[in-house]
Structure 1
């Protein structure tokens, strides 16, 4: 007998056919229960709450209209569509509140009776065709190990929801499900999703309620949302798109079409993430994503208390690498360290390039001591081999790292400052090591009379914290301002030796501060000004100098260069 060889595609088709057959049988069983209700409501007995019964009647037939054809029951779908037409008025608040609602209910019940009887006959015929197969009922499909993105399917149709979940898992997605809005909200708070599919017509809460929930949380705005609905009304489509839906699929639909839409949305989102949130050189997350995601992590810790630690990593003597071998080699070294971190940290750990040769790592569920051990393990790997090679030449590095564990009373800027302080201590102690934040003051004691006062005026509070952490070993006392108006008052209110002024701020920007002081003659004569700006246009630099700035640096800038510039302006050795 000739052996038959099954291909992976043949096996997949068989599994899909098995899933469809099982879904069809479950669907008919559930449909029989719903049909009993419809038959009761089209009888002679009049319900106590006519308005609510009319709504329930509509919800059942509306669901049948969208879901039955997906299982191949086109005749049931066509009958349900006719019933939907009879009960569409139940979605009008004025109609159900009208005194004539009972008369209208009786009229629609009588008109629906023949259609319900046809449904009974059709379901009975299908049930006879789908003969019970106990062996098939007990057969369990072996699921592909979870991989890829995590999806959330929200639908109050139990059979359709179960079918979609199983098909999506078969495609390799990790899938969660919810039967109502409140359950979906709980899952969204607990987990992160790459895409959400939402049924618009649900009970007791409408799918529209979830739009409001997603819109209120800035962390959820970027999650793709596909609306699945049995309503093809243009108003519903337009409303959903204005509320933030990324796609709108009308039931009944072919699963293959939905799968293609999901794939396309996820691919587009990944491309956008790569462009907006990834450092183009190293491939790890950038500062923008870090600022966003660290808030998400802290919100999660607030809901579910636990440990979380932050690590600042700075490549030792990186400037000498650039000076000796050139920036292309420096770029290779940065890429090599980024790869080393990605390969030896968990998928749940956050790795971001913070600027220049500095990386930040956030380790959820990890104490400072455990984080230190993890990073020390990676540091040992740098001792064992090069992080980059070019034209037969190997490049070895070490790094210094500082670890700080989150405490409930900390602000985010203080937490960042602590990790950075510990990293600076590692540098001061000889480099090539990982140190925990201990709270000890860095630097040496300096005569208070010799100390300088520096005002850092920038609307980015994290950048202010970083600048202070980088410069705190100098004999400097700091003042802060979050906008131009506050900076102007600080400059007038007390002695300031140096003002590090952001050129672009909301309201009164850095240039506006300089212009106001020049017009009013209020600039302290001994105060030096260093303008920082993300704009590198020559006219911006010229404008700053014309308004009295002593120096100008473009963002992003090297912290080493910044420190040298500050020392120069303050005449520190």
Structure 2
């Protein structure tokens, strides 16, 4: 029974990876989509086969008139029921939606646009200023950004340049929204915007132009193998690098190790010294690590302040010694602004060609968090005895709403264990999400929200429950509330918002 359950889990994981790959394509050959339909059809005799059989029959019928290529828009429509089915299962992975961030003070004017985006399976976030975008949105994985021209006019030039450089370095599409004025349009293009929308650009045209920019982003991202900031390889490079290592292991018996490390208390560096200093620290950290590694070793920026190293090693002791050299070199170094930083490192040794990348990454991650729990600034090698404790992330739901979500399954995360509790419980966690009524959040001029924004050692996000889309809700989103749900609540919509929040945690 346990073996069958694991097989089903593996099939689910493989299916989600296939879906994610298909969604990144501009168009898909009809033959390839029919092969995927056959995969769904034989998904598993134990796993709701009727659902997948229905989807396969529908696809075959709808694709009958398609000659060769299935366009992206039709693909999204075909895949939507499968994505919803997989997401509702609350398994290890959920298909991550693309994040569209808007910087505007006209939230109420953007309600229909927000709904249109969410119907197209995008996530949305709103900020009221470029300062808040740089402060709060810096660590968000953003896929495109929209900014009102009025915000540009009210903002210090230095902040505008800083934000635009960040977007350009990450190839994130930038869209400015302003009046139908040729002079303003020309000025915006001179600033570096990728597109300009005036009031004549309706919602349907906006969606088409946004999709076009996102397709370009995917094309660029798929061809880039080096992280722009640090010069390390990026995650696109990782899969092939791991495959080359396992091929060498099979051919020559050369064992190798996978290590994951990140800076201790990096959020504190950003909060106290600013994100530009944080970027300098990351760049210098990558340079130091490369100097400590051998020519054949591969450094990959895994995400945020987290890096991965693939390197040959004779055994776990040899691998630990090598990573200890990296750790000690970083500890001795003085970084910009006179900063002294340390790293925690977790590693695992690969001696079996059948061990896949995801499994090995999970092992190194567990060892990394053991190093964190042991006091940081150390190297831990994975062993079966490694404690699998994770950092607690608390989701606090207003007590009258909680019963409707009591059966919700939250996707597993390599770093966090999620605790779903009533908002009046005193359970604490490094990561917190509050789901609360808007009136409660707005009390005393949003005093509670302002206090949460000042918290340095925690990440606190908020979903507001609102009776209507009014000016008060607009103020809440400007003040830092993450998102909202309208009452009467749709539990499925709220569950999806919570799941997307969980899988996006750094």
TM-score range, shorter chain: 0.3 to 0.5
TM-score between both structures, scaled by the size of structure 1: 0.33
TM-score between both structures, scaled by the size of structure 2: 0.37
* Larger RCO, structures 1/2 (Cα 8 Å, 6+ apart): 2
Greater radius of gyration (CA): 1
